[in-house]
Amino acid sequence: MTQYSPVTQQAIKSGEFIPLYVDGSQDSCPNCNGLGAVYYFKTKGGPFRFPTGDKVKWMEFEDPKKRGWYNGDLVAEPCPVCTKGRVIDWIREHNGLSGDCRFTTIDEFNAEAPLEGKLKAKEAAKTILGANDACHGVSTFWGAYGTGKTHLLMGLVNGFCGIGVRAVYSLAADLLDDIRQGYKDRSNDWLFEYRNVRVLCIDEIDKVSMTDWAVQILHQLIDYRYRNDEHYLTVFASNKNPFQYDPGMAYLSSRMTAGAIIEVGGPDMRPAISEYTDK
């Protein structure tokens, strides 16, 4: 979520200001996309059915009562992240992980006997992370419940954040909830955020309820990243081999199977959590 000054954040929450998102490069600062400033629209009136006055902007809200033309002023303020030297801190604070998950690493993923069936997946994750800031493309880890897919995704996110590459972890269902809530209250353009993050790790992609809206949003998000995969790395975790997805998920499996498909084998780790280090 784009960070503003505390005063602006409060005004956005109250609806007085509406945040705006400008395309740019996240390589220097993911908060302002390298522009050195963040933008918002200071509303003076609206919504109107037709543009009124000189400075107007159409605002799209899920609530039809809020949707319409607003007049006001475009305002820029210095980015509170890169102008204060907090880029690395911001990347780590906004990677979708909390608690002990923020310290999960690929190295601690247990692939020793009798878990050697997981070794290939561990080596694949290390190879992905080894690409550093040249990472790109699509990879999918799949396997039965509890085999360690989530651990590998979290390890990738923490690893990339540690070298200054913005990476985000999210359950697919939570990702859709974020986007829906952002549309509803205009608090953040989450589709823009997820679309443009350098490394996006989406867990449980095959467990989402595929409503028409969910299919539309996931298609927009994943297709954009797929078509621009020279700039982005997208990593999925699935309980099912993407080659075996139902026809209704063909749009997704076709993009997943264009990249690396890695099976996470071996036993379910959850019953033996105290014995093994895998999560």
pLDDT in tens, 60-72: 776 778 788 888 8
| pLDDT at residue 64 in the model | 77
Tell me the Ramachandran region of residue 34: left when phi exceeds 0, alpha when psi lies from -120 to 50, beta otherwise.
Answer: left
Q: How confident is the model at residue 272 (pLDDT cuts 50, 70, 90)?
A: very low
> For all residues of the chain together, what is the average pLDDT?
87
Q: How confident is the model at residue 265 (pLDDT cuts 50, 70, 90)?
A: confident
| pLDDT at residue 186 in the model | 60
Q: How confident is the model at residue 114 (pLDDT cuts 50, 70, 90)?
A: low
C-alpha to C-alpha distance for 138 and 52, rounded to whole angstroms: 46
Pairing of strands 68-78, 37-48: antiparallel
Average pLDDT over residues 25-50: 84
Q: What is the CATH number of domain 95-272?
A: 3.40.50.300
Q: Domain locations in the chain?
A: 6-84, 95-272
Average pLDDT over residues 106-133: 89
Quickly tell me which residue has 């299919």 as its tokens. 215
Whether 62 and 183 have beta carbons less than 8 Å apart is answered as: yes
Position 85 pLDDT exceeds 60: yes
| pLDDT at residue 156 in the model | 98
Q: How confident is the model at residue 274 (pLDDT cuts 50, 70, 90)?
A: very low
C-alpha to C-alpha distance for 110 and 131, rounded to whole angstroms: 22
| pLDDT at residue 188 in the model | 62
Q: What's the half-sphere exposure (Cβ side, CA atoms, 13 Å) at 45?
A: 10
Closest Cα partner for 262 from 129, 121, 137?
121
C-alpha to C-alpha distance for 122 and 108, rounded to whole angstroms: 10
Pairing of strands 233-238, 56-59: unpaired
Pairing of strands 233-238, 137-142: parallel
Position 271 pLDDT exceeds 60: no
Average pLDDT over residues 23-43: 81
| pLDDT at residue 130 in the model | 96
Position 276 pLDDT exceeds 50: no
Average pLDDT over residues 111-121: 80
| pLDDT at residue 49 in the model | 85
Q: How confident is the model at residue 24 (pLDDT cuts 50, 70, 90)?
A: low
Q: How confident is the model at residue 275 (pLDDT cuts 50, 70, 90)?
A: very low
- CA 16 → CA 45, 57, 145, 202, distances in Å? 10, 14, 46, 33
Position 266 pLDDT exceeds 70: yes
Average pLDDT over residues 135-159: 95
Structure-block tokens of residue 128: 């992905």
